[in-house]
Homo-oligomer: A and B are copies of this chain.
Amino acid sequence: MVRPDMTGNCGRPAVPDTGRMHPLATMVERTKIKDIARVAGVSTATVSRALGGSARVTEATRERVHEAARKLNYRRNVRARNLRIQKSMAVLLVVRNMSNPFYLDIFKGAEAIARAAGYVVLMGNTEDDSAREIEYFDMLRDGQADGMILMTGNLPVDHQVLDGETGMAPIVVALEAIENCSLPLVEIDNHAASKAAVQHLLDLGHRRIGHIAGPVPEVLGQLRLDGFRAAMAEAGLSAPPSHEAVGDYSIQSGRRCCRAIFASPEPPTALFVANDEMAFGAIGELRDMGLRVPQDISVIGFDDLFVSDSFSPPLTTIRQPSVEIGQKTMTVLLDILDGRLQSRDICQMPTRLVVRGSTAPCRTG
């Protein structure tokens, strides 16, 4: 084994007594804290303190230690440290479906914050499979991660259990609230945002407005559906059942729901769709039916995906601040981990109506 040669011959190998050392002369062994201690002429404890930025070290020795560390090209062994401090410096980010492009910017924001704080991000994908949900949950229990961000909309364990379990790693819920669950939450006001979307259509003079919802009674889909109905009710309107359809956020389901709604006797003149992907599908379907958007039918989506701007027509939608949601969620989690935050926190991020080309004033009565 070849160890870093420290200035002349002051050093015997750090682990000289390993009888099984073969002169293969290849594998370079990592410098450890012990080596630095020897070079700097201090104890390992002092090295650890100096490197860890403890205040209980003379400026002089701190300097000497850092010097030695630099010279020996030292890097601290994360595994050993993690075992000792009983943390893993990792957070788990669990989504329900990794194919959803909406998560990308959330990842981006969350990862950036975590990395800046010295944490790594583990990614988890449940595919709505509860076995997998439990698997990731167990990773938390096992201490593979110090905390978790949950964007799956449901909890694989009983909330009672969770609340009672002392010493459970912190969990922050994002995007999709979980029923009967008192975990910290970062979300948008889905109900209000949906109302704003519908209000936009109302402002354009539309009265017969349809809605393609996400899965109900899942919280997210339900909230947006409720927002739709509330806005309609406030305008003294109500959509007939045939103008409401339930999809699953996929493009295909958008097509299907659109077809269903427009099979009704008196189809709507505008459509509020619970996410952009289904809106894409709906617009595609309308086109196939020979209807023009927005001349014949107005369509508004939800999310503001990266492509929505260059869709044809450019999609009017509700923008969610995805990067910021990721950042905020991770910030809350780290605040809890570092003891800066104790009480439950519910944070609502602002949304914005983005008016583009897929909505226009109502022309028919």
What separation, in Å, do the CA atoms of A79 and B158 have in the docked complex? 27
- The answer to the question of A26 belonging to the interface, with a C-beta cut-off of 8 Å to chain B, is yes
- The answer to the question of A183 belonging to the interface, with a C-beta cut-off of 8 Å to chain B, is no
Interface 9-mer from A49-57, A134-142, A148-156? A134-142
State the Cβ distance, A273 to closest chain B Cβ, in Å: 13
Interface 9-mer from A100-108, A186-194, A240-248, A337-345? A100-108
A111, B98: Cβ atoms closer than 8 Å: yes
Closest to A283 in B: B312
Q: Which of B108, B251, B305 contacts A309 (CB 8 A)?
A: B251
Do A121 and B120 form a contact, CB below 8 Å, given A20-B164, A101-B104, A165-B19?
no
- The answer to the question of A112 belonging to the interface, with a C-beta cut-off of 8 Å to chain B, is yes
B125, A123: Cβ atoms closer than 8 Å: no
Interface 9-mer from A33-41, A70-78, A214-222? A70-78
Which residues of chain B are near A167, meaning CB under 8 Å? Answer: 26-28
B120, A122: Cβ atoms closer than 8 Å: yes
- The answer to the question of A166 belonging to the interface, with a C-beta cut-off of 8 Å to chain B, is yes
Copies of this chain assembled into the complex: 2
State the Cβ distance, A36 to closest chain B Cβ, in Å: 16
What separation, in Å, do the CA atoms of A125 and B107 have in the docked complex? 9
Which residues of chain B are near A138, meaning CB under 8 Å? Answer: 75
Q: Which of B78, B139, B254, B314 contacts A144 (CB 8 A)?
A: B78
State the Cβ distance, A290 to closest chain B Cβ, in Å: 13
Which residues of chain B are near A122, meaning CB under 8 Å? Answer: 90, 120-123
- The answer to the question of A289 belonging to the interface, with a C-beta cut-off of 8 Å to chain B, is no
Q: Mark A57-80, 1 if CB is under 8 A from B, else 0.
A: 000000000000000000111111
Which residues of chain B are near A107, meaning CB under 8 Å? Answer: 98, 123, 125
Do A306 and B111 form a contact, CB below 8 Å, given A19-B160, A312-B283?
no
Closest to A167 in B: B27
Given A82-B82, A98-B107; 18 other pairs, CB 8 A cutoff: A18-B164, A19-B165, A23-B164, A28-B165, A75-B138, A78-B88, A78-B143, A78-B144, A79-B82, A83-B83, A99-B105, A99-B108, A104-B104, A107-B123, A112-B125, A120-B144, A121-B122, A283-B312
The 7 closest A-B pairs by CB, nearest first: A19-B164, A98-B108, A312-B312, A284-B310, A101-B101, A79-B83, A280-B310
